[in-house]
Structure 1
């Protein structure tokens, strides 16, 4: 199994006058939902699918609640999730207010174990096998 890659033509966001160039972009092969995850987990242990689904729903609820309280959510061997914000740049600290915040986003920091696993990912380019 390998991760599919395609070439994507993009502009430099820091210099829109610069000629666009190509970068490699990972291609999504689909989406896995909680029901499928619950099914997969239930087939790997003695817990029923409905129990796995209930645990995943509780995990989702509690993760969102903890993130909204400003906590970093640690997923063990997976990594950490934390809410971050994008804001306008201001000259002084006093000028930074709630109105300067543009949006919130989710930061993910992979654990060292997960990062080391990524080193062994194989790639294929538009259906061609290559590493």
Structure 2
């Protein structure tokens, strides 16, 4: 099945006089929860849904712990997670501290295999709203 998309007309923030262009915007089909994933995974292996859910919950708990300890978390064919921050600058090196941190972000880098799988995803125009 393909991901449905809408078309949006967007102007330039840099040059408001520039002609607007049309862009593809994917439409979400909803959400898949950890429960949904556990149920789906359990159907393709010998583990029960509860066992799979417990492993996924443990992963959700362990990733932030490892990140907080300064590690990059590599999950094989899934990809890797690492910490990134936005911070303010200081005039002196010795003035830099945790107080400079403005925003913390968790960065996910998909594996080559996952990227390859995502390249296979197709898109289909949402004809309901297209007129």
1:18 equivalent among 12, 16, 19:
16
What residue is the counterpart of 1:27 in the other structure?
Answer: 27
Cα distance, 1:24 vs structure 2:
2.1
Q: Which moved more, 1:4-13 or 1:53-62?
A: 4-13
SS of equivalent residue, structure 1 residue 28: coil
Q: Deviations over 1:31-81 (max 9, x none)?
A: 111111111111111111111111111111111211122211112111111
SS of equivalent residue, structure 2 residue 35: helix
Moved over 3 A (4+): 8-13, 19-22, 90-93
What is the RMSD computed on CA atoms of the aligned residues? 2.4
Pairing 1:70–2:91 present: no
What residue is the counterpart of 1:83 in the other structure?
Answer: 83
TM-score normalized with structure 2 length: 0.79
**Structure 1 unmatched runs, 5+:** none
The separation in 2 between residues aligned to 1:119 and 1:44, in whole angstroms, is 23
What residue is the counterpart of 1:45 in the other structure?
Answer: 45
**Which is higher, the Rg of structure 1 or of structure 2?**
2
Equivalences, count: 125
The separation in 1 between residues aligned to 2:12 and 2:96, in whole angstroms, is 28
Cα distance, 1:21 vs structure 2:
4.5
**Structure 2 unmatched runs, 5+:** none
